[in-house]
């Protein structure tokens, strides 16, 4: 799939080197089709890395996607230059009158804070409320998933005894669900978090369904039964070395963290981790794009408000 982005976005060179088709705005405008409109609310501190990871996965389908990057106006990023943000990102006020086929809300390293203590919480709540009438299907990732479950359904997070870090096996609980079409009965997914949600709390919400869970990772993929919201508590988008970089960062900070589970060969951080989740990540995103963004979204996005439940 060609991904339509601004012509000088840093991710373009990396993706083109991987033979992923990235279409500049000039060429996309010459095509007589309506591309899918996807907005990515990027809450991660390393924004360029996260942009590249997500665009790589969104590029794995035959559909043309028009990407809009969104930042929080009420938060000052410490790890991404102001020039990058002003060049490639918009604020909510700039897009609030638009409609989108899909939306992605990323994770953020604020898990150990109460939701209401996060400096951009009120703005995020406004965006999540807006998404129900202005976006057909929204994918929430990691902390973004916990935030969405809490805001929309009152599902509270709980803190683990120690950080959940590593690549974990999961079992599919609904093998016929389109989001998981093509998956094996079990699959692997990276996790990197200090908090999670309780299965019984999800089961109490009749609009929600647990789609995948792991013995150690617990609830990992949750979906709203109408396909309008998905909550991915892991990080399917992570690169081969992302967990290694996070582990090294934590060690350098003097944190008491264990080696990521099932990640380094022989649990040796000097050895290169095996990339064993990329195919599942690609399926997850291409299934979401195909079955819940492309096939179900009305052609005229102005009709989205009529579909609000």
3-state secondary structure string, 104-121? EECCCCCCCCCHHHCCCH
Beta strand extents in 152-207 (DSSP E only): 157-172, 186-197
Euclidean distance between CA atoms 305 and 309, whole angstroms: 9
SS3 157: strand
Q: Which residues are catalytic?
A: 142, 235, 237
Euclidean distance between CA atoms 209 and 222, whole angstroms: 6
Q: How many secondary structure helices (H) and strands (E) does the chain include?
A: 10, 12
Cα separations in angstroms, 69 against 10, 85, 302: 13, 9, 21
Question: Exposed, middle or buried by CB within 10 Å (0-12, 13-18, 19+), for 51?
Answer: buried
């Amino acid at each position: 799939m060609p991904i339509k982005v601004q012509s000088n976005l840093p991710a373009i060179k990396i993706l083109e080197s991987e033979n992923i088709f990235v279409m500049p705005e000039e060429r996309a405008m010459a095509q007589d089709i309506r591309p899918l409109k996807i907005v990515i609310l990027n809450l991660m501190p390393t924004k360029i890395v996260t942009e590249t990871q997500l665009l790589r996965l969104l590029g794995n389908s035959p559909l043309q996607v028009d990407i809009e990057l969104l930042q929080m106006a009420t938060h000052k990023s410490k790890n991404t230059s102001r020039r990058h943000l002003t060049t490639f990102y918009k604020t909510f006020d700039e897009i609030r009158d638009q409609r989108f086929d899909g939306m992605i809300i990323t994770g953020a390293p604020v898990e150990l804070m109460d939701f209401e203590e996060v400096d951009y919480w009120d703005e995020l709540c406004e965006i999540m409320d807006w998404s129900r009438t202005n976006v057909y299907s929204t994918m929430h990732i990691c902390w973004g998933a916990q935030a969405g479950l809490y805001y929309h359904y009152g599902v509270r997070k709980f803190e683990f005894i120690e950080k959940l870090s590593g690549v974990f096996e999961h079992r599919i609980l609904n093998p016929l669900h389109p989001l998981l079409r093509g998956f094996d009965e079990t699959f692997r997914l990276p996790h990197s978090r200090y908090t999670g949600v309780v299965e019984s709390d999800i089961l109490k919400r009749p609009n929600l369904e647990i789609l995948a869970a792991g013995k150690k990772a617990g609830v990992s993929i949750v979906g709203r039964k109408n396909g309008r919201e998905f909550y991915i508590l892991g990080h399917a988008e992570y690169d081969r070395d992302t967990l290694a970089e996070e582990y090294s960062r934590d060690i350098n900070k003097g944190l008491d963290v264990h080696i990521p589970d099932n990640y380094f060969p022989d649990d040796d951080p000097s050895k290169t981790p095996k990339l064993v989740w990329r195919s599942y990540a690609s399926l997850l995103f291409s299934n979401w794009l195909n079955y819940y963004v492309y096939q179900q979204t009305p052609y005229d996005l102005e009709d989205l408000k009529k579909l609000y439940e």
